[in-house]
Structure 1
Amino acid sequence: MATYIVLPIIALLAITLATIEQVSALGLSALPLAIILGMLYGHLSLREEDEQDQRFSTFCKQKLLRIGIVLFGFGLSFQQIIAVGWQAVAIDFLVIATVFSVGTFVGIKVLKLHRDLAILTAAGSAICGAAAVLATESVLKPKQEHITIAIATVVLFGTVAMFSYPFIYQWVGISDKAFGIYIGSTAHEVAQAVAAGQSINGETMQTAVVVKLIRVMMLAPFILMLSAVLGRLSRRAKNTAGINSLGIANYDADKKSIITIPWFVFGFIATAMINSIVILPEFIKVAFSFASQFSLAMAMAALGAQTQWSTIKAAGPKPLILALLLFIILMFGGFFLNSCFA
């Protein structure tokens, strides 16, 4: 069966499965499900991809991905920020800055991981899971296996974190709203914030989702800053004797010397701004939400279909160690931050 038929089917199946109560309770959204189903198809299918299949897969991983992120902005608004207060915004910012900085430094300098893999893993843990990994991909242009490994580790520890929140809640003495802020500022995926909040009560879930969505909104300025920083590092690397400013041997300096700011970031900001100013009819919001999920799920399915398990296995334990470290920072460091602002 042709790829242009299989990938939409996988995307729709992933979206459908994510709506099942037993599945959503596990914190599995359509995106992780799509990549899992895509990997199953890629391993079980005996059909060789032709040129048309490859072009369609590339279209899904590039164009549809960016369209999906732009449409995702219609689910966010600046009014949500006002509702939870400046403390939640400050906590989200500090969490993102700390987790990304530590993850990148430890991944590159200590664990000696490939730069792209370290950045992708750190971005996914710091901001919004698989969606952040895919958005960061547009700046780095990394190898496909690096994207898959980063997503796999982020999904794994994001799921572990989600099941940890109800246990933590029993042992801490903070309000339901404060615990919701803690969940939203540290959960990897939006779906995991929903599931973890639901396990406490309605107020906690609502606060957790809003705070998590604020973290998602910070994806846009993060991508712009990352693009600018990497562009500067690449220019410096070309002027050194094969050593870049992070102390790692330079690779593909010419290839990465020109880093363009991805257009979809401005689209994401624009759609969020429109949703903040204009009261859109509910059916339009639902349509945009589905289109966003479907586009992103197609991108994930295409990525999974072209990924082999042997690639992930060959990466070794270091990516898991990095993701575990970031998980610990999120759970314990995030709780400390929330206690300071409580």
Structure 2
Amino acid sequence: MPSPETSSGTRAPTAARTTAAVGPHPPRRASRFPRPTPALPGLAVCLGAAVLAWGLAQLLPGVSPLLVAILAGSLWRNLAPVPQVLAPGVTLSAKKLLRTGIVLLGLQVPLSSVLDLGAGVLAVVVLSVAVTFLGTLWIGHLIGIGLAQRLLIASGFSICGAAAVAGVDGVTRAREEEVATAIALVVLFGTLMIPLVPFLGGLLGLEGQTLGIWIGASTHEIAQVVAAGGAVGGGALAVAVTVKLARVLMLAPIAAGVSIHQRRSERAEMAATRGAVAAAAVKRPPLVPLFILGFIAAMALRTTGLLPEPVLDGAQILQTMLLSAAMFALGLGVHLRSLLRLGFRPILLGALSTAVILATSLGGIAVLGL
């Protein structure tokens, strides 16, 4: 077939020749100014809320900025719409900032101070954490709560509140609603324990140091321990905080144990449904999450005594800010209508778990004569 010609008798260029002659479209010139990160708006809002929560906590002694932040996030979520543009930054805050704050939490736990408590107090700590963690899992199974939700509640109530929930969330397949529920329960029951434990200690005639041990071995959040111990007195406060930090140490072995269990369970499930090859290829939770290793490293660094006090003070403020930003982000996930759909069972489990750790820690104190 003859090639088409123009009116002047020359050949019309084909598509191929035109492309070859002109070449591909030149790349667009890069903008002189980088585009804003999608996470930036939500991240800025969460950090701004953390600053406001920290400032408000300074005006209200005994009030935790973490508590203020999560309550503020929850109020916003339930009273007004949250712009979708904030979603990437909120997710980043709830995950990355929270885990960074947990790493910095290790700088508050010198191993020497924990060892100075003595074998008896450490035994009460280990017993309280182990019995509460396993007991909560068992009770939750009896009342029909899923494994992921049980693990989060058991960790938060037995170890160190929201930080423990985040630590275990890193090695589970929990939904955002389950994480928010566990943290909301920690806030609810931990806040109730601030007046309850000193009141019960007074009824039982416990001395200041003994009551401080009980507060530290049973109360959920560090901030709640500070509030309850401060209500009793200075001596009780120092003991309570040190005992609480000993409980924080249990986060690493508990998280590692949960991770190992999850890996084995998922591999067995995959092998049963899709075969051994698929089970070997599936992505599983890390054996020990990176931020848990960071927590251990920070604790070891604090134990060396190399860090000056101004650095430790600054790290504590930064840790509080990061955790407050993360709590605000998690509060934005607390939708009351969604929580009400979960029914009364998580609340019942929180109440029973609180009773277990109160009874176990007090029983250990009584048996050992502390």
TM beyond 0.5:
yes
Q: Deviations over 1:300-332 (max 9, x none)?
A: 211222332111111110001101101111222
1:82 aligns with 2:105: no
Q: Deviations over 1:109-168 (max 9, x none)?
A: x11112111111111100011111111111113111101111111211112222112222
Corresponding residue for residue 225 of structure 2 = 193
Q: Is the 8 A contact 1:32 1:130 kept in 2?
A: no
1:238 CA displacement: 3.0
Q: Deviations over 1:240-276 (max 9, x none)?
A: 479xxxxxxxxxx999861112101111000111111
1:10 aligns with 2:49: yes
Distance 2:132 2:195 in 1: 20
Among all aligned residue pairs of Structure 1 and Structure 2, give the percentage whose two residues are the same amino acid.
31
Corresponding residue for residue 221 of structure 1 = 253
1:18 CA displacement: 2.5
**Higher deviation after alignment, 278-287 or 210-219:** 278-287
Corresponding residue for residue 21 of structure 2 = none
Distance 2:291 2:43 in 1: 24
Q: Deviations over 1:191-219 (max 9, x none)?
A: 11112112222111110110001101211
Distance 2:232 2:75 in 1: 34
Q: Is the 8 A contact 2:127 2:360 kept in 1?
A: no
Q: Which residue identity does 1:307 align to in structure 2? A: V
Corresponding residue for residue 199 of structure 2 = 167
Distance 2:205 2:74 in 1: 43
Distance 1:341 1:17 in 2: 41
**Alignment length, in residue pairs?**
325
Q: Which residue identity does 1:80 align to in structure 2? A: S
Distance 1:100 1:255 in 2: 31
Distance 2:242 2:133 in 1: 21
Superposition pairs for residues 131-210 of structure 1, below 5 Å? 131-210=163-242
Superposition pairs for residues 99-114 of structure 1, below 5 Å? 99-108=132-141, 110-114=142-146
TM-aligned CA distance change 1:255 to 1:300, over 3 Å: farther
**Higher deviation after alignment, 30-39 or 316-325:** 30-39
Q: Is the 8 A contact 1:130 1:189 kept in 2?
A: yes
Q: Which residue identity does 2:218 align to in structure 1? A: T
Q: Is the 8 A contact 2:131 2:360 kept in 1?
A: no
Q: Which residue identity does 2:70 align to in structure 1? A: I
- Larger of the two Rg values belongs to structure: 2
Distance 1:112 1:284 in 2: 47
**Higher deviation after alignment, 89-98 or 172-181:** 172-181
1:21 CA displacement: 3.6
Corresponding residue for residue 267 of structure 1 = 294
Q: Is the 8 A contact 1:31 1:130 kept in 2?
A: no
1:96 aligns with 2:152: no
Which residue of the other structure, out of 284, 295, 299, is the alignment partner of 1:258?
284
Q: Is the 8 A contact 1:161 1:331 kept in 2?
A: no
1:234 aligns with 2:266: yes
1:169 CA displacement: 2.0
1:36 aligns with 2:68: no
Superposition pairs for residues 54-73 of structure 1, below 5 Å? 54-73=87-106
RMSD: 2.2
Distance 2:336 2:204 in 1: 40
Q: Which residue identity does 1:79 align to in structure 2? A: S
Q: Is the 8 A contact 2:136 2:353 kept in 1?
A: yes
